[in-house]
Amino acid sequence: MIMGAALIVILGAAAGTAYFLLQKSEPKVKGTLVLNGLTSKADVYRDSHGVPHIKAGSIKDLFMAQGYVTAQDRMFQMDLSRRQASGMLSEVIGEKTLPRDQFFRTLGLRRAAEASYSEYSSETKKYLQWYADGVNAYMDQAKEQNTLPIEFLLVGYKPEKWTPIDSLVIGKYMAFDLGGHWEGQAFRYYLMEKFSKEKALDLFPGYPADAPSILEDLKESGLDFDKSFADAVIPNFHNGSNNWVVSGSKTESGKPLLANDPHLQLGTPSIWYQTHLSAPDYEVSGVIFAGIPGIIVGHNKQIAWGVTNVGPDVQELYVEKRNPHNPYEFQYMANWEKADVIKEVIKVKDKPNVEHEVVITRHGPVISEFAHQDKPGTALALKWTALQPSKELEAVIQMNRSKNWQQFEKALESFHTPAQNFVFASTDGTIAYKANGLIPIRKQDYTSLPVPGWTNQYEWSGYIPWDKLPTTVNPEKGFIATANNKVASDSYPYHISDTFAQPYRQQRIVEVMGTNQKLTIDDMKALQFDQANKQAEEMLPILLEQVLNEPLSEKETEVVTVLKKWNKNDSKDSAAPLIFHIWMESFSNELFEDEISEEMMKMFDGREQIVDELIRKAYAGTPGPWIEQNGGLEKVTQKSFSSMITELSDKYGEDLSDWRWGKFHSLTFEHPLAAIKPLNLLFNPDTEEMGGSRITVGVAGWNRETGNITHGGAWRMIIDMSDTSKAYHVVGPGQSGHVLSPWYSDQVKDWATGKYHVTELKTKKEDESRHLVLQPAEEN
């Protein structure tokens, strides 16, 4: 009893201290602060949603102020981002993150960022340095005043100086997160090694013409795939986006409408940071990844633009033959070539440093042994456009300053990775589209498999010429939309990809865009949050037909009745979406769970698309071996139907009124430290039930085990080009990374219910109460 009381006193004192430190570290958003290096004062007005409007007299002062203000709100996030991309998490977290660090050291994003920096113009290097100066000014003040975000205290370290390379490595990480299908190549190689050719090819996105000869060359590689990639970091397969632009001929205002919602990992704070930047000859509003200067997606007074992921095949796995007498030599054209060997030293908290060896062949880093030391006779090396020097920030700055399509398109020449579908609108009425980025041309057709690295037969011969990339300007139909779908017709002369998103989001967007009614901002809002399930429209009749071929139990009849009455909308209050989505998961599990390891399932690129296609083929009378070996479409459907009912009954009971989609499908916006209980109670916003799914336009992707919504459009934007002084935004969960800030989680409810706030290019009278003046030091 006494011990319990003492513990309560100790915990109470600790809580009181923590609250004091939290208050002390809260960013200053009004008054005056001195910022060394400024040439004149910069004004920062935060609006009612915490969006900073930064006004400066020069571009130098603007980027310094942007660095300072972003660090005020997001310093811990910025530091974790650069550490993750650089393979430096273990230094502050410990050996738990060592495999992740080894993976990113092997991949070499920081090496690529360093190589890129030397390619930048002297002007852009200045922008990067000015931004870094602003970040460092914040850190110096926060360290001196002991006001760093409390996360640094909890983890037990202080951030080091920010550099231009840190900004660039975060950009390289975004290229990694938007991927390029290397894991799919590895998975299909694993299929060919483990299963019959017929079973393996059944799970390919298309039949590769060269597969037989390649597979003959690659037999018996000796690679242990489960072991090699157990610790690999695989981006979310569903990373993508929606964007569309509508001509003034189809809008109520008579000017174009543009909408964009990029789909990435959801968390606290948001991956996006919204800002309005203003200086002579430079004004732009939109979002950027915290840690990078400028605005990557948004608008200025003349133009607006949005992005989605093209998802091209910009990565190639090469199977390298190793010299049995020298593990650092690899065969190429009958000769042994020396690989580059980099000795990385990884600092590990409370442990000795770990030496990590990176081997780089002519094609790229060997990634098949990053987590272990045995070296079989073959290895997998990764060639990837993002590991080459590139100058995306040059493009971003030029995009921000563009006034028309010609200038904007010219700016895109420097934007190489990740390849993006850019949609564009301007006040002159132009709407346009370009699938922009560095996309390789191969000597041989793309195979969907790793290729031999010991011959020049499978080298890249160049890149799709920039002026030949898919481009559309002012199409006759009056709109352009992309949702990670196939963007070029079969007659397009270059290969882009074999793996695209399921078509359902694009189908729904085109369905709405094709209406004859005059479209409005409200129509765009409704479409961005639209929860119509086009997959259920296609697949549910097929599935129901199979289960109705056999007598049903009372429970099964009840479930079928719910599905038959369903309006095919993924509403949070309905049982049908829960039943349908868990059924589709169960169908997939019936096919693969017993034969493909959990480690390799995470490499299964395009799994949902392939399962859809297996169902289509089986229903058309041509089932593949995976469905045939499980008894045919009818049996697999019935077994998965039964499994689904058992699972949901166990979780939610026998009463179908408790089987609500929102009960399973809920939104948390988890903080990086929330895994350490009870810090989740401090850092995680309140949970919200939510509708939508992975395949609705209003994307809300979820964790397969928990139902927690982890993926979606953390930022949504809509703009009417008839009035470019404002745009409609929502950033989930909010602008600030400081848990006591009023803007930490104030947009969660809006994000979960499809609401928006207006961000204007002019400040309002009430913004004066949140007016921070950044003042140069007296000697300036």
- Residues in the annotated binding site for Ca(2+): 313
Length, in residues, of the chain: 780
CA 15 from centroid of its chain's CA atoms = 35
Read off φ and ψ for residue 712, nearest 5 degrees.
170, -170
**Pairwise CA distance, residues 622 & 446, whole Å:** 26
Q: What is the DSSP letter of 685?
A: P
**Pairwise CA distance, residues 457 & 455, whole Å:** 5
Read off the tokens for 136: 């460092």
Contact 366, 376 (CB under 8 A): no
List of E strands, 577-640: none
Using DSSP's 3-state secondary structure scheme, residue 221 falls into coil
| Residue 700 bridge partners (DSSP) | 712
Active site residues: 241
**Pairwise CA distance, residues 170 & 137, whole Å:** 20
Using DSSP's 3-state secondary structure scheme, residue 487 falls into coil
Q: What is the DSSP letter of 418?
A: S
Contact 251, 429 (CB under 8 A): no
Q: How many CB atoms lie within 10 A of CB 658?
A: 12
Beta-sheet pairing, 666-667 with 708-712: parallel
Using DSSP's 3-state secondary structure scheme, residue 79 falls into helix
Read off φ and ψ for residue 360, nearest 5 degrees.
-125, 115
Using DSSP's 3-state secondary structure scheme, residue 695 falls into coil
- Residues in the annotated binding site: 313
DSSP class per residue in 506-562: HHHHHHHHT-SSPB-HHHHHHHHT--B-HHHHHHHHHHHHHHTTS---HHHHHHHHH
DSSP class per residue in 638-707: HHHHHHHHHHHHHHH-S-GGG--HHHHSEE----TTTTSTTHHHHHSPPPEE---BTTSSSBEEE-TTT-
Q: Crossing angle, helix 607-619 and helix 534-547, to 10 degrees?
A: 50
Contact 75, 140 (CB under 8 A): no
Element (H, E) at 738: none
Region class of 110: left (phi > 0), else alpha (psi between -120 and 50), else beta: alpha
